[in-house]
């Protein structure tokens, strides 16, 4: 398990598996009835508990097992927040489609209103995790968990802004009915000014993690930087999937039940990976 290749494959598998598991849970809840999405979110609370517990117990531990534990803890916290978002439990106060021909400032305010509670929850968790982990040694499981959550947060903010400003491709297939109103707040268009900034920043982050991996002196550091490099590379791939005509939905379509009601949307918030 100390091999960087095994760590990278582990991160790739979790990206695929957790995305599929969350989409499957949301799809089943959507088919089960009106109260099912809330019950699904509540049933997933052990993920949040495990993540917070893992964050606490990996403090100061540089062992390979602790590094994997810190990584898993960050993903568990993220997975619960993502489940709460996709079920419509934690989104924002605005649940209405965006009218056309609005001034840009009003369009932005309305778009922010669709995700405000979700974004504030993620920001609060990020700040809380960094406050608690302040001063933690750089090669510990908790430190790698902090950076894992930070990469996920930064990549998600970047992806949402790119979807707001406009990209050529947006995956509509897995958009839950609870988030159907978000379709009108994003646009399909040519590349916006932020996209090259985003992919450049993510590419530099991957290069940074690879440089740290090359300079690693302990098994824990080798695993940790390999996990971060793999996760950041997947975030970079998700950005390119907004441009490249690749059938990424096939990765999860086969494992999901048919939606209760098929809806066609034009400009949703695409969902490639977790």
Q: Is 86 contained in some domain?
A: yes
Q: Is 232 contained in some domain?
A: yes
- Position 260 scores a pLDDT of 63
Report the domain count for the chain: 1
pLDDT tens digit string along 84-108?
A: 999 999 999 999 999 988 899 999 9
Q: Is 167 contained in some domain?
A: yes
Q: Is 258 contained in some domain?
A: no
Query: What's the average model confidence in pLDDT over 222-230?
Result: 97
Q: Is 266 contained in some domain?
A: no
- Position 253 scores a pLDDT of 77
- Position 259 scores a pLDDT of 66
- Contact (CB, 8 A) for 203 and 236: yes
Q: Is 102 contained in some domain?
A: yes
Q: Is 185 contained in some domain?
A: yes
Band (pLDDT 50/70/90 cuts) for residue 267 is very low
> Domain range holding 168?
4-253
Query: What's the average model confidence in pLDDT over 163-182?
Result: 86
Query: What's the average model confidence in pLDDT over 56-60?
Result: 90
pLDDT tens digit string along 233-249?
A: 999 999 999 998 877 77
Q: Is 59 contained in some domain?
A: yes
pLDDT tens digit string along 182-205?
A: 888 888 898 899 999 999 999 999
Query: What's the average model confidence in pLDDT over 131-149?
Result: 85
């Amino acid at each position: 398990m100390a091999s960087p290749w095994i760590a990278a494959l582990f991160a790739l598998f979790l990206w695929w598996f957790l995305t599929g598991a969350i989409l499957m849970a949301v799809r089943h809840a959507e088919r089960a009835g009106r109260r099912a999405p809330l019950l699904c979110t509540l049933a997933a609370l052990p993920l949040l508990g495990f993540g917070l517990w893992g964050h606490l117990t990996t403090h100061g531990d540089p062992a390979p097992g602790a590094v994997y534990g810190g990584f898993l803890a960050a993903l568990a916290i993220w997975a619960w927040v993502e489940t709460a978002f996709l079920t419509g439990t934690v989104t924002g106060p605005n649940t209405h489609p965006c009218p056309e021909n609005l001034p840009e400032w009003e369009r932005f305010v309305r778009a922010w209103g669709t995700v405000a509670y979700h974004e504030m929850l993620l920001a609060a968790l990020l700040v809380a995790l960094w406050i608690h982990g302040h001063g933690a040694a750089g090669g510990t499981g908790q430190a790698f968990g902090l950076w894992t959550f930070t990469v996920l947060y930064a990549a998600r903010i970047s992806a949402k802004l790119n979807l707001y400003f406009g990209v050529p491709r947006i995956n509509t297939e897995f958009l839950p009915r609870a988030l159907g109103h978000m379709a009108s707040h994003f646009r399909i268009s040519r590349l916006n000014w932020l996209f090259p900034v985003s992919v450049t920043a993510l590419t530099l982050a991957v290069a940074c993690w690879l440089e740290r991996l090359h300079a690693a002196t302990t098994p824990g550091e080798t695993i940790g930087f390999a996990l971060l490099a793999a996760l950041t590379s997947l975030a970079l791939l998700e950005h390119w999937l907004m441009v490249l005509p690749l059938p990424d939905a096939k990765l999860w379509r086969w494992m999901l039940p048919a939606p209760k009601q098929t809806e066609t949307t034009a400009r949703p918030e695409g969902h490639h990976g977790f």
